[in-house]
Amino acid sequence: MFEPKIKIGVSFCLLGERVRYDGSHKFDRLVADVLASTVELLPICPEAEIGMGVPRPPIHLVRNGDEVEAVSVENKFEEFMHSLQSLANARKHDLISLSGYIFKSKSPSCGLTDVPIIELKSQKVMNLGSGVYANSVREMVPALPVEDELRLNNWDKFHNFMERVQLFKAWQSLDKGNSHDKAKFHQNGCIHLLARSRRFVNELNNLFLSQESQNTSTSNRNYIVQLMHLLSEIPSRSGHARAMRSEVCSGTIQLSSNEKEIALQQIDLYENREIKLGQLLVRFYESPWHNRKTSNYLNPYPRDVLLSAMQHFNDRHQILNLSKEKRSNFESVNYWAQSTNGLYTNSIFRRSNSY
Ligand code: SF4
């Protein structure tokens, strides 16, 4: 059966689009190359969309008494808080169709947690907070998996994000009135939680049982928000292995005794640090049984996303291990690639590997 592509919202500048206040961009290869070629992206630049123009005077977040405001750096009376908040409402139809969102870090509009908040009188950074638009999106869709590009460029966090995105997508297309399908979704969610902690499984089970008879939009919303919140914790290697063994032995996938034995041996190799998580998942995708059940702990998101991401992290690892001289050589070439909106980045990365 044809399955629609995963749809993810992104800050437009991460795709190499020149929409920043100074007319520049923040091309990010993982987003613009890897994800753009494997999932559907919805790019939004909130500051450009509310008509601030490119280039434009930069804005920042300031604390004035109890209030935080988004104002122009050049003119503290020019505020953009209301327009940025309203944009999320104006784009509601698009936002509720997304299964994830990747925001630009540190931006007063798009940042998730690391945006400097300036104290108006002293003009000093008081603390860090969330960008105005990103905050409104999270209030509108509290279960939506979100990440910023800095955190996403870490394999564990990338894997965790994609795992949440795939589960959230499954929830979006679930018939909430069908108690059998809902119970199956819950059972699958519990395997994901088992990788984190048995306490998390008990917590979600209690919530599921207490709300089983209700099936209201509020009870469904509470359930998925809690599941997504618990899933944002990153499992340990032994946690992943525990959940995978449970999936293999649970009987939810029809495995012959030989297939089961091979799968368990692969999990042992992973737990003993002889192979990495990505390698283990590729072996599962290539197993004859992988088509018998999709979207579970053993094949948590589409294979092409996994393979492209593994290539990206492998390239990245090699570049980070280059000698200083070779890396600066690479960076100057990569700068040129960025200045051409990343159009040539793939070939540049390939060339850099032969240094
Ligand atoms: S961080 Fe957000 S507001 Fe700033 S340029 Fe990028 S997309 Fe636009």
Is 46 touching ligand 1 by the criterion CB < 6 Å? yes
* Protein residue closest via CA to atom 4 of ligand 1: 20
For the four alpha carbons of 147, 148, 149 and 151, in that order, the dihedral sign comes to negative
Is 109 touching ligand 1 by the criterion CB < 6 Å? yes
* Protein residue closest via CA to atom 8 of ligand 1: 45
Proportion of the chain in helix, strand, coil states, percent, rounded to 5: 55, 10, 35
* Protein residue closest via CA to atom 5 of ligand 1: 20
- The two structure tokens encoding residue 289: 């049984």
Q: Tell me which residue of 41, 44, 129 sits closest to 84, measured CA to CA.
A: 44
Please give the number of the atom of ligand 1 that sits closest to the Cα of 104: 1
Residue 222: the pLDDT is 95
Is 45 touching ligand 1 by the criterion CB < 6 Å? yes
Ligand 1 centroid–CA 85 distance in Å is 14
Please give the number of the atom of ligand 1 that sits closest to the Cα of 44: 7
Residue 115: the pLDDT is 96
Task: Give CA–CA dist 343/16, Å, rounded.
Answer: 9
Residue 250: the pLDDT is 84
Residue 135: the pLDDT is 97
CA 241 to chain CA centroid, nearest Å: 22
* Protein residue closest via CA to atom 6 of ligand 1: 13
Instruction: Give me the residue label for tokens 């993982």.
Output: 30
The pLDDT tens digits for 75-110 are 888 999 999 999 999 999 999 999 999 999 999 999
Low-confidence ranges of the chain (pLDDT < 70): 1-2, 293-295, 322-355
Please give the number of the atom of ligand 1 that sits closest to the Cα of 25: 5
Residue 254: the pLDDT is 83
Task: Give CA–CA dist 163/220, Å, rounded.
Answer: 20
